[in-house]
Structure 1
Amino acid sequence: MSRWSAETLRIALAPGEAALLRTRGTPTSRVLAAGERDAASLLPLLDEALADPDWHGRRVEVVLSQHFVRHVLTPPPDKALSRAEERALAGASLRNIYGDEALQWNVQVLSQPPQHGLVGAAMDASFIQQLDALLARHGFREVMIRPLASVAAQHLPGKFAGWWALAEPGWLTLFGSANGIWHHLGGQPVGDDWVDALPDLIEREALSAPQTLPSAVWIQAVGTGPIPKPAAGDWQILPHDPDTRGALALAGI
């Protein structure tokens, strides 16, 4: 590997683990383990790893585990909003759920038509600032920090409609969509038996969705190992590598 690379470095951060990955040419990766599960504990490990000139470059994309992200679907604004107004609406919706803690979060927004709610993704603002500064110190000039869901959604079929279950070790994010619009979302910690629990979970979530959604379910597993397809129902399992686990799977998605 050259001491400075023009290709994008992919970094993934998950509870207790970080992974660095370059995929062009000869694939090169490194996994870093932390003793704690909070996001901040990964920064010293990342700082040390990036001191190696072999990882230097101009562009970096950071994928954050859904463990570190909180989503919200806002009420419909019923009119077109500026980007600042969209972030303000998403922030207010997060505060209604999480209280003043949400004031400390950085919010990204996915726009939808005004008659539908906006999708907000929130991450700890202090952590994002520290991460951004760390990457700048190591020479990265083009930095993108994205939730796993934002990256994984690119693998959904073009006319996706139904339920999307995004699973990673210890966490499940569930999105409901119809006619190109996100109508429902949620996330929760799960155990290793999450596949068995998924039908009941979707049934419960469907009861609180604002409209009836298609029954098809697309399962996207990232770093969980092999997954069995549920015996009944309209289930589709998106391609995944069952042999790659943890943060390295997030980096490679």
Structure 2
Amino acid sequence: MIRSLLLLLAAPWVVSAAPRLPRIVSINPCVDAVLARVADPAQIVGISHYSQDVRATSVPLSWAGRFKATSGTAEEVVALRPDVVLAGAHVEPATIAALKRLKIRLVQYPVPASVAESVAQVGEIATATGHADRGNVLAARIAAAAAPSTARPVGALVWQGNGLVPGSGTLTDDLLKRAGFRNMSAAYGLKQWDVLPLEYLVADPPRVLLSTAPEGVQDDRMTGHPAVRRLAQHITVAAYPTRLMNCGGPTIIAAMARLRQVRAQVAS
């Protein structure tokens, strides 16, 4: 009887001793994508306005619509009274100064250049939310999705509407290799991020061209050009949505699924 009473008296103390989860504001859409999978909705008090833009989001709009969105200005962020602000590599100096003055923690994450770097970021973001265990689960899913292919590499190039090509040292380059492709960027003498003119592409096309133009779009200035459409008679031209290039983290799972699908198409 006495023991039961003591346990009841101790219970409120045990509950009050539980650490409070931090209030989080994210001003980066790629961070939002990780938060959607590791954080409690109640602790997210703000997300990036890009996550509510169908052209830029890396999360379902139905999820993004549940939260206050900001453009990352000091006034907007401070008004939400966060414990921690999670951001990308570039943050307005005024926002940094305001957060520092108010002693609000700011954590910035650079654009990951590999799956390994992205997995590490997932762990860091999950830890910042107080849910390191959920981060471990997500990291394991990403690592499994990005397991290297044993197939013979096939030459491929990711070509965006303005001719921009991701080269060596980018996350896209790492994903291509893991999916069984060889990034042909270097063969054209391109740098890490560089532009490949249409004429060079047509003169010496890769075995696989991954176009970021949506399937069926004919009015894009370069990826919708008739010369590119004619290439499909001789090489594999496949859609690779821009949204798969915007972020690492959980986006890697969808990106690898698409790349493996194209690789299987080439093999068949």
Flag whether TM exceeds 0.5 (same fold).
no
- TM-score, normalised to structure 1, is 0.32
Structure possessing the higher relative contact order (Cα contacts under 8 Å, 6 or more residues apart): 1
**Relative to total residues, which structure has the larger helix share, 1 or 2?**
2
**Relative to total residues, which structure has the larger strand share, 1 or 2?**
1
